[in-house]
Structure 1
Amino acid sequence: MRNHARILLAGLALSAVPAAAFAQNAPCGGDFSAWRDAMVAEARAAGVGNAGLNALSSARIDPEVLKRDRAQGVFTLDFATFARRLISQNRMDVGRSKLKQYASTFQKARSEYGVAPEVITAFWGLETDFGGYQGDFNTLNSIATLAHDCRRPELFRPQLISLARLIDLGVVPRDITGAWAGEIGQVQVLPDDYLTKGRDGDGDGQIKLKTSSPDAIMTAANFLQSLGWRANEPWLIEVKVPAEMEWYDTGLHESLPVSEWKARGVTPRSGSLPDSAESHLLIPMGRKGPAFIAYPNFKVFLEWNQSLTYVLTAAYFATRLGGAPIFDEGNPEPGLNQTQMKALQRGLTADGFDVGEIDGILGAGTRDAVREEQRRLGMPADAWPTVKLLNAL
């Protein structure tokens, strides 16, 4: 490894000029070769050296990446199905084993960054099965493909320059592989986070997020703290809700003190419900399904991934690793299949709501629109779409 890469290994940012300050001049789409040449020029202006520039010059489009980006069908599952599919008994057992195996590293991470070990372990397990499968996509091609595509270029163009910088410094090889969306290593971080949040957890003077579990643990802790993690505070607690209450206030759009939820009849399913001036009551499958109080730390999960179903699963997995029982699924009303959900989204769009892409996924925009329509129609406004609502529209 080159000597100047030691800057990263000391835990400092590698560049004085952020990659986001560049990567603005190459328009998305169009001829890929011309676009790539423009990206090389911007990377050079950002201070990337020849090794990184040469690697960037070899990038190519990967059609499979675009296919994956357009078809994230797993997020059409409801929370209960998704969580029970991802949190197997084997994953629980391995997670508990990892907590013991790397207890000293987790303690160091908690001491330096304040992040609970089970939170890091939950992400580690869900992202890569504790490093067992980290993806086999060529990372350079994946990020170049997504940066050239016009769907989210503002996210991936800076990542492409950061990856070129990592390659130039010898931190990662030019043929490094990872997830289809460009994440690298056991906890799946994007190149810019590798650069700025990477930490040496095993003391070997290198940051190897693909092969070193201690490096991955410390990097994840640093990353989560940078997103606003509050030390020694809860993130999610399962609760029981009354049969009737003001459902419109549930969800991420409304924050109330825990004392207010208690006053409305919300109680912990087990243990206690610590007070907090800010909290959300989450009922991902409606008023008759599972229910959770989300604390301010839950927002950090949403910074890691914006899918409520995924982050709620990750946060719940962390509580299980900490000793919480399996959630009570309750008796939720049947939800919509993907075809029905698309029909609902089209109806909501026709009514003037912005639900984003018609994709059959119950995202934040669709939930908000469902809540508003339920209230308008005199239904319980719990943001859980049903056939009854679809028919009413």
Structure 2
Amino acid sequence: MPLKRRYLMAFAAAIAWLLGSVPAMAEPPPMQDFRAFIASLWPDAKAAGVSRKTFDAAFAGVKPDYTIPDLDLPGRPKVDNTGQAEFTKTAADYLSKPYLEKLAVQGRQFLADHKAALERIEGLTGVDRYTLVAIWGRETAYGSYHPPNDAIQMLATLAFVGKRKDRFHDELIAALVMLQQGVPRLDMKSSWAGAVGLTQAMPTEYLKFAIDGDGDGKIDIWRSVADALAFTARQLEAKGWVRGARWGYEVIAPTHADCSLEGPPDARPIGDWVKMGFKKAGGRPFTKAELSSDAYLMMPAGAYGPAFLAAQNFRVIRLYNTSDLYALFVGNLGDRICGGGDFATPWKSFSQPKTRTVAGIQSRLQQLGFPMDKIDGKIGSNTRKQIGLYEKSNGLPIDCWPSERVLAHAESQAARR
């Protein structure tokens, strides 16, 4: 056999073996199933006040988009965080100093340009102008980013085959109500998760909190800065915003403390944290009011970065977007716009683990009796805390960070049971 042909046959055999070793993606649901699902929505839409004309026009030509994250499809990994920067970047990368500095400069100019509206909204809701501007900057870079997706298509896909069908069913019905109320279909451009408007909020939030912020007699969160800011402020106010309080504080932890203390379940008065040896970064003492307020320890990179005491307003920002990194980004950007600077403690060198590694650790720790409420591959405060407690109970170095080292150890322990 000629040498060239032999190489080609060997190459073809290798490719065939590789393809055979990778599970093929199953065919997505047939289009008729999607159409049947859309038809099943009509009673709920009608009950919400949506006309048949609006309903039919909304779904005309709409097809599911199976490329977006968070779908429960045959052949797709059950843990899938593709496309979500909060879960695919390290804290150091997500909280990029150059990007934060850039947004802070733009934010100070934005603050000056919209001073009157921001002061009025702050007076009415108690939500400080710096946080509002920071949210605007994080969501759409002060309006320069325009989401490319059709909100109805995104929400219909997520309600049809998403992992959180009930939630997105409600969001889809709310989006139809928005159309019924006169929101132009061309304005219904969204993120992959269906968030709309200049500050990117879900349709159910729009129906609850959108108001006329500029007094022109209409609500337009797509073009009116005042309307968008007032809408965001009302959401934060309703979620429990504390007027005049900070989101939280960067702290320096004492040497005898570690990241296994992290998380909302260990919230306590800041005065108690001070008694344990925690100090505000920068050296200034906490005020009397601050000492009496509750906060929990939050270390988004485990032992590889800064530590924070997350207060009530951090929790509120996190309710706006369920991510520690998002809330920290907004809090720090607001501080920078107000004149603050970078974090006092530098980020150490560390890598972002693969989603399957995080999910594997969560699964094994749950099996070993550690309270792990979700197996989702996301590095939240409880995952970091439980890793720290596992490391502590097994005499391992405590860094509270998901790694192949921790996974291998936990798998060996689980195998002995």
Normalising by structure 2, report the TM-score. Answer: 0.79
Gaps spanning 5+ residues in structure 2: where? 1-30, 72-79, 411-417
Q: Find the partner of 2:365 among 337, 343, 348.
A: 348
Q: CA deviation at 1:78?
A: 2.1
CA shift at 1:302, angstroms? 1.4
- Residue matched to 1:193: 205
Partners in 2 of 1:268 and 1:35 — Cα distance?
A: 54
Cα displacement string for residues 110-142 of structure 1 (whole angstroms, at most 9, x for unaligned residues):
111000111111111111111111301011111
- Counterpart in the other structure of 1:52: 54
Matched ranges for 1:1-393 at <5 A: 31-58=33-60, 60-63=62-65, 66-67=68-69, 70=80, 71-74=82-85, 75-84=87-96, 87-173=99-185, 176-245=188-257, 247-270=259-282, 271-273=284-286, 274-287=290-303, 289-330=305-346, 332=348, 334-338=350-354, 340-351=357-368, 354=372, 356-357=374-375, 359=377, 361-379=378-396, 383-386=400-403, 388-393=405-410
AA paired with 1:45?
Answer: A
State the secondary structure of the residue aligned to 1:280. strand
Greater shift in the superposed pair: 167-176 or 156-165: 167-176
User: What amino acid maps onto 1:344 in structure 2?
Assistant: I
Task: Give the residue type in structure 1 aligned to 2:394.
Answer: L
In the alignment, is the contact (CA less than 8 A) between 1:118 and 1:318 conserved in 2? yes
Q: 1:147 to 1:263 in 2, by over 3 A?
A: same
- Rate the CA distance shift 1:61–1:315 in 2: closer, same or farther, 3 A: farther
Report the more deviating stretch, 34-43 or 71-80: 71-80
- Cα deviation for residue 66 of structure 1 reads 2.7
Structure-2 change in CA distance of 1:36 and 1:216 (3 Å): same
CA drift at 1:311: 1.8
Query: How far apart are 1:205 and its partner, in Å?
Result: 1.1
Q: Give the counterpart letter for 2:224 in structure 1.
A: S
**Taking every aligned residue pair, what percent have the same amino acid on both sides?**
27
CA contact (8 A) 1:284 1:384 kept: no
TM-score, normalised by the number of residues in structure 1: 0.84
Is 130-139 or 68-77 further displaced after alignment? Answer: 68-77
Measured after TM superposition, the shift of residue 226 of structure 1 is: 0.9
Q: Which residue of 2 aligns with 1:15?
A: none
Are 1:49 and 1:165, in contact at CA under 8 Å, matched by a contact in 2? no
Per-residue Cα deviation, 1:249-292 (whole angstroms, up to 9, x for no partner): 23333101111111111111134432233111222222452011
Q: Alignment partner of 1:31: what SS?
A: helix
In structure 1, runs of 5+ residues without a counterpart are: 1-28
Worse-superposed segment, 189-198 or 104-113: 189-198
Larger radius of gyration: 2
**Offset at residue 328 of structure 1 (A):** 2.9
Q: Counterparts of 2:292 and 2:336 in 1: how far apart (Å)?
A: 21
User: CA shift at 1:374, angstroms?
Assistant: 2.0
Cα pair 1:235 1:296 within 8 Å, conserved: yes
Aligned-residue Cα RMSD (Å) equals: 2.6
The answer to whether the Cα contact below 8 Å between 1:236 and 1:319 also exists between their aligned partners in 2 is no
**Kindly tell me: are residues 386 and 330 of structure 1, through their superposed partners in 2, closer, same or farther at Cα, counting changes over 3 Å?**
farther
Q: 3-state DSSP class of the match of 2:154? A: helix
